[in-house]
Amino acid sequence: MQELIKFINQYSNLSESSVVALEQRVVFESYEKNEIVLRQGDRANKVWFIKKGLLRKFYYNNGKEITTWIHAENEMFTSMHSYFQQKPSQETIQAIEDSELISLSYEKSVELNQYPEFNSFSQELLTKQFSAIDEFSKRFSLMSASEKYNALIEIAPEIIKRAKLGYIASILGISQETLSRIRSKK
Amino acid sequence: MQELIKFINQYSNLSESSVVALEQRVVFESYEKNEIVLRQGDRANKVWFIKKGLLRKFYYNNGKEITTWIHAENEMFTSMHSYFQQKPSQETIQAIEDSELISLSYEKSVELNQYPEFNSFSQELLTKQFSAIDEFSKRFSLMSASEKYNALIEIAPEIIKRAKLGYIASILGISQETLSRIRSKK
DNA sequence: AATTTCTTTTGACTTAAATCAAAAAAACGA
DNA sequence: TCGTTTTTTTGATTTAAGTCAAAAGAAATT
């Protein structure tokens, strides 16, 4: 729980009363490896914070799973468009290691918006996360396969260390075989 | 001005008093073809609405201009990450036709946030625009050159009609020659 | 510990699109 | 209107990465 508070404080400074308000509203959840946290088509009515574990976001394209990102400890995640617009999610979120999460529902987060600290936190989180996605997709679209791989090592070493080859290749938009060859030469 | 109000009303319903408050704060601006509206490195301290004209967003990569999008009449634009985080812009915005714009500064928009209608408008605009960018980049990254071109015809016919080949190719992340060949066969 | 299943590697071949170069067409300015 | 500059088209060639197929290696299940 301290990790979550620390995370939020990066964006906005929580008062003692707002910390209490937060603690009263969060829920602890556990998922086993391969369990689905959010299914495509369902509404993302929560945001989650990762205490422990690894979570994968993906969607289907012609029956194939396309992994878009993998989140690790001390990160927050949700299906952004689904949560902020309260519409069905395009993406599925799956635990790819046994995971322990702290969740906050949309309704409770609306309650917390009475506290201006939370208001600015969610605005900033929204902006930063989307900016990051935007920048990531623009930067990566101009790189070769191995440049993308090297850039991912820099920005997300946890993914490289813990996720399997196929998922990493999918994030980079390259084939498994190509990633395997990139790794073998060096 | 009615066009702008109509635009905002798509997201949120403006009261009469908030319309007046808005009218008192906007500024009309004109740009000639090729003029720069926002320069890379400068802070985007405005959002603009297009009454007339065509505006191009681009950034530099290895000295080459990469066009990310082109906006036409009745759309709002700004450098999203720069405006919402009030940081220097990565992208440059340029008029590529003689253009007439209505602008609202960041400071004035903060004033308008006293009106809850504007608050929900800017939150929704932020969410929708970023969701659109996100979806666009994900969908397009899996398509072939000609599939991307056909998809762009669907979602942005104005760009296809009015922007030059090189800009369109750049948005699609393909070479000019490839786009020219796609067009010639059909 | 053995068998089955899943994941990664390696090889051979194909292909979509990039690059380089030059010609043709269109737009612009004096 | 003519010459200059910009933009688009066409042709020839190269290349990065995909696909298909099979082997090797690792992990999970009984």
Predicted confidence pLDDT, tens digits, chain A (186 residues): 999 999 999 999 999 999 999 999 999 999 999 999 999 999 999 999 999 999 999 999 988 999 999 999 999 999 999 999 999 999 999 999 999 999 999 999 999 999 999 988 988 888 998 899 999 999 999 999 999 999 999 999 999 999 999 999 999 999 999 999 999 986
Rounded Cα distance between A96 and A79, Å, is 17
Does B131 sit within 8 Å of A134, measured CB to CB?
no
Burial class (CB in 10 A: 0-12, 13-18, 19+), A28: exposed
Helix (H, G, I), strand (E, B) or coil at A30: strand
| pLDDT at residue B35 greater than cutoff 90 | yes
At B154, the pLDDT band (50, 70, 90 cuts) reads very high
Which tokens sit at B7?
A: 């635009």
The dotted CATH code for B2-138 is 2.60.120.10
Nearest to A84 by CA among A59, A110, A53: A110
What count of other Cβ atoms lies within 10 Å of the Cβ of residue A49? 23
Does B134 sit within 8 Å of A85, measured CB to CB?
no
At B185, the pLDDT band (50, 70, 90 cuts) reads confident
**Among 2.60.120.10, 3.40.50.300, 3.40.50.12140, 2.60.40.10, what is the CATH number of A2-112?**
2.60.120.10
| pLDDT at residue B119 greater than cutoff 90 | no
Helix (H, G, I), strand (E, B) or coil at A178: helix
What pLDDT, on the 0 to 100 scale, is given for residue B63?
87
Average pLDDT, chain B: 95
Does A135 sit within 8 Å of B134, measured CB to CB?
no
Footprint of strand D on the protein (CB under 7 A): A 144-146, 173-175, 177-178; B 164-166, 176-177, 179-181, 183-184
Does B138 sit within 8 Å of A138, measured CB to CB?
no
At B51, the pLDDT band (50, 70, 90 cuts) reads very high
Radius of gyration of chain B (CA): 17
Per CB-CB distance under 8 Å, the chain B contacts of A134 are 80-81, 130, 133-134, 137
Closest Cα in chain A to B142: A173
Closest Cα in chain B to A58: B138
What pLDDT, on the 0 to 100 scale, is given for residue B62?
87
What pLDDT, on the 0 to 100 scale, is given for residue B22?
97
What pLDDT, on the 0 to 100 scale, is given for residue A120?
86
| pLDDT at residue B186 greater than cutoff 80 | no
Rounded Cα distance between A87 and B12, Å, is 17
Rounded Cα distance between B166 and B155, Å, is 18
